[in-house]
Amino acid sequence: MSPESEKMINISEEEVKKYDSSLAGRMKTLRDERGLKRDWVARQLGVHYNTLKNWELGKAHPGTRELLGLARIYHIEPEEFFKGI
């Protein structure tokens, strides 16, 4: 095993929290701006209401498939969830 494969990437908790907070906030803001109800969006994605709520509160994270689904529902590019970071 080479020394490079043993190195770990150092990502601070502060950086992780910044992205978590941004993603959660953008999900809620985009839904609110479009006047969509949380239960409707959750049904479109095939997830429970509380799952979407936890994403919007930053307590959990959507998978790639769900993030792409949210982008389609909100008519945005997936990268826009991290706009302004």
What average pLDDT does the chain have? 90
Predicted confidence (pLDDT) per residue in 44-78, tens digit: 999 999 999 999 999 999 999 999 999 999 999 99
Closest by Cα among 41, 39, 38, 47 to 75: 41
Predicted confidence (pLDDT) per residue in 7-45, tens digit: 789 999 998 888 888 899 999 999 999 999 999 999 999
Q: Is the pTM of this model over 0.85?
A: no
16 burial class (0-12, 13-18, 19+ CB within 10 angstroms)? exposed
